[in-house]
Amino acid sequence: MQFRYAFVVDRYGMKVLDVTDLAHPKPVETGKVALPDSRNIYVARTYAYIAAGGSGLGIIDVENPEAPRLDQVFNANQQMHEVNDVKIGMVAGSAFAFVADGYNGLRVLQIVSPWDDPAHFSGFSPRPSPKLIATAKTKGPALAISKGIDRDRAVDESGNQISVFGRRGARPLNKVETQMLYQRDGKLYTVEDEPAPSTSASDPDSAGRRSWQAWLTNAGEWFRHAKAPRK
């Protein structure tokens, strides 16, 4: 799941669910990508990595979750025959895919590196350029990959660090705090690409509040939920 969308796979391929209301998930009719024999999925930034069995590793662009598109399918020149699972890990300027490739064992793919596209590799979500760089035989068929600990830094669209998570006293956002990122008065909050007409700070909103009054109300709600005791 990523923000307001859940990404799932079945025999058809990848499908997207709108989970803005977690109690009532809704299929996104335009959020489908056919990829037969899909077995598992891992979403990292704006790409979904699909373990697609005999097809190899499918990479889907999900920057717009309601209009995903297949970017590429990688099988290392037909060497990857039974892709069951995939996890993504990042180290410094490189990103890697760890793939459970059935009887072939563990595969390691380098998917982003400074040498592939020096002008863009450090951006928020450079296009993957997968290369098979290592293989480790397993005692039996490799069926699954465990998830490592996520890095505790957030970056902006240019790859610059903007915040740090996971430190002492930190915690994940709860449901109410998360919904405050995309809901206003219980309704989905969206913005347009074009700037809105300028308004005065003294102009009231739909609830009759001045901008500073609305800001104080939202800030008070956040602190109230943040301090609420946990069960």
This model's pTM is above 0.95:
no
Model confidence pLDDT, tens digit, residues 68-92: 999 999 999 999 999 999 999 887 6
Task: Judge if 87 and 145 occupy the same domain.
Answer: yes
Last residue of a domain, which of 155, 186, 206? 155
Domain span holding position 179: 171-227
pLDDT digits (tens, 9 = 90+) for 19-53: 998 889 999 999 999 999 999 999 999 999 999 99
Q: Are residues 183 and 91 in the same domain?
A: no
What are the tokens at 154?
């957030």
For residue 154, what pLDDT is reported?
63
* 151 and 213 housed in the same domain: no
- 26 and 89 part of one domain: yes
Burial letters 158-184, b for 16+ CB under 10 A, else e = eeeeeeeeeeeeeeeeeeeeebeeeee
Across 54-70, average pLDDT: 97
Mean pLDDT of 178-199: 81
Q: Does some domain include residue 107?
A: yes
Looking at the structure, tell me whether residues 103 and 186 fall in a common domain: no
Domain count, the chain: 2
Residue at 162 is within a domain: no
Among 155, 179, 212, identify where a domain stops: 155
More confident residue, 32 or 119: 32
Residue-level pLDDT at 64: 96
Residue 223 and residue 142 share a domain: no
